[in-house]
Structure 1
Amino acid sequence: MSHVKRLVLSIVQFLRQQLQTADLSADAKESVEVAVQCLETAYGVSVEDLSNESLVVSRPLLEIFGDALPREHVQTSHENVPEPTEAQKAEAEKYKQEGNNMMKIEMYTAALECYTKAISLDGLNAVYYCNRAAAHSKLDNHLDAIEDCKRALEIDPKYSKAYGRIGLAYASLNQHQKAKECYQKAVELDPENQSYVNNLRVAEEKLRDMASLGNGDMRRPSGGGGGGGGGLDFGSLLNNPTLMNMAATLMQDPNMQNIMSGLMSGGLSQNTGGGLDALLQAGQQLASQMQAANPELVEQLRRQMNNPNDRNSSNQDGTERNN
């Protein structure tokens, strides 16, 4: 398989994981599902390829992308950080409290700025780094959250909340083994914290699901897995004459042809992300036209895409209150 197909397969894997883990609206999920099918058809990849270790890259696409981005240098040692004065500590506390208030009203960028100001005044307070990590996580800056948690743990190696939050960041990057190890440490330090216990259980379930997928069980992935298709029977869909006729009719639509032509002419290779936007646009338009033409069939598809095996999830969004 060419590098291009392996890249597309990684994108498909990422999108399937987003369907399971991201907070997407029903319309957005439909668009992503259609985008996945378009990519699989256009590039000749399939869900079965995800079980082939020779085709799947060793690291999640989101992690590779994060490593490729230029990021501000994060100091890895606090040994040379000067001891703050009492006045600086007091001012830093004010910024921390302001940041906590911003987190409560979901103004995460403002909270991030407040915690950064607190750190600039008192770089020896582990709480400030851990709180900023929470803000980074809310902004999907998971790699930065990991770095801040590591800084917090350098200052205070027994800070259980830092282990809990770094576990959440690893889980968001689908690095469930690392997440499990962090949750285990958090539970060891704070065994009465039910959130850590629940998150550890979820991480262990994710690892079992991944092991199951690695053994070739791709037909009925569980609700906790990241790469499944929600129980959708593609074979039945492709043999459905009504669906196939509708798809053929839709592809004759000039607007749809223009979108797909733009995609196939190299839109996916653009650094601006326009190709993915076009994919979502195509999916949205396809879903809308299908809904108008045959709402009963769309409802049938929606029922097939719903996963009947959802598990009770624990606190995986990092919403525990900051210090």
Structure 2
Amino acid sequence: MSDIKIVAASIVNFLKQQLDSDALSADSRESVEVGVQCIETAFELTPDELSRGVDLLKLVRQGTGAAAPADRAEAERLKNEGNELMKAERYREALDKYTRAIEIDPQNPVYFCNRAASHFKLGDNLTAVADCTAALALQPNYGKAHGRLGIALTALERHAEARAAFARAAQLEPDNESYRQNLQAAEERLAARGGRSQLDLGGLLQNPALLNMATEMLSDPNMQNLISGLMTTTTQPAQGTTGMNALLEAGQALAQHMQSANPDLVERLRSQMRPPGPGGNQPPPSQ
């Protein structure tokens, strides 16, 4: 059986699935029935060949990671059970429920964010950070995920990153008092340490906001042209100061792009690189 016939048979099977459902109007059903007959006739499909077609809907869902409605309902049920277990302080069981929900519907950021809370309660702060980061990769403006990321980072004593996370959470949900309190506490802890913590390059590279901005920059045609030109300049012998000037111009263009794309993030990065200033003893941030 040729690949073309497999494709034709798969389309016919998909259309027949729609005819078996209640999703089509009477007029649409008639059009689809005609389409089925036309495809079967044009490609001379036999019943055996039709049985060898693939399930296109299932294939698309697997490719996009989208769960079927029934699966989404099951995942939501597991999430709700996990929430009740969290209230009962049965954190290990809650974690299992959230994990099963993620396995069914891995595109829902809420499940990752909730599982991060259970990891935190079990003392696994690094995995809590990973789950918050996964949630933010799916939904960058998820305030609760930023807030929980800040809590986990605080437990790991990565206070500069925690401050950035709380700042973003407070920006997204300005009425949430706990985010503002945690942000203030993080700033006080940093002040007590001399205004900043040691620059954590590993943490910066895992920062979801920085990763998102980098992705946007790399997809910008202007940035692609700039980087391409920079690569050409650096691989060819420079005449006088031409090579250095090109590097400086490229750096200025990148900095301007970053400032324009996310000024808040740029300011937070700058704050981590400033010289330490005077500070007194302050209480640790609340969690």
Q: TM-score under structure 2 normalisation?
A: 0.48
Q: TM-score under structure 1 normalisation?
A: 0.43
Larger Rg: 2
Point out which structure has higher relative CO (alpha carbons under 8 A, 6+ apart): 1
Structure number having the greater helix percentage: 2
